[in-house]
Amino acid sequence: MATTNDPVSDLLTRVRNAIKAQHRYVDVNGSLLNTAILRVFKDEGFIENFLSKEEGKKSIIRVYLKYAEGRRPIIQGLKRVSRPGLRRYVNRFQIPRVCGGLGISVVSTSKGVMAGETAKRSQIGGELLCYVW
């Protein structure tokens, strides 16, 4: 897998494409930030699981996607908010609700990467990475 300038966008695009193709799993580039984002996805019930594995010098994460009955994907949409050219920071009062509370926002805070509601409860803000619904 090639290196990219924006590993978070690469992660979201790979997951989005795999869901459209109804794949069981997808491999993404391994990084600490990607692992933290996927941990939030798993804790919030958007993916089944993910596993890290080393292939030579590179780390790869296999993401197992989650589907409802009738092979309908649990993840209906993914949107990158903060990007390398335009970072978006929010305080605890500005963390948005996604799809009326059915989705989540993922925030990178000083205490680590967490869901937006968790950051609100912890009363901390940070960089708004993406939305999932």
CATH of the domain at 101: 3.30.1490.10
Phi, psi of 57 (to 5 degrees): -85, -20
Specify burial of residue 102 (Cβ count, 10 A radius: 0-12, 13-18, 19+): exposed
Q: Which amino acid does the sequence have at 86?
A: L
pTM, whole model, 2 decimals?
0.92
* 2 is a domain residue: no
Q: At what angle do helices 7-20 and 32-43 cross, to 10 degrees?
A: 40
Q: Is residue 46 part of a domain?
A: yes
Q: Distance between CA 19 and CA 105 in Å, rounded? A: 19
**Each residue's pLDDT tens digit in the chain (133 positions)?**
666 789 999 999 999 999 999 999 999 999 999 999 999 999 999 999 999 998 888 899 999 999 999 899 999 999 999 999 999 999 999 999 999 989 999 999 999 999 999 999 999 999 999 999 9
Which range marks the domain in which residue 121 is found?
7-132
86 located within any domain: yes
Q: Is residue 111 in some structural domain?
A: yes
Tell me, yes or no, whether 1 lies in a domain: no
Tally the domains of the chain: 1
| Separation between Cα atoms, residue 37 and residue 46, nearest integer Å | 11
Domain-located, residue 84? yes
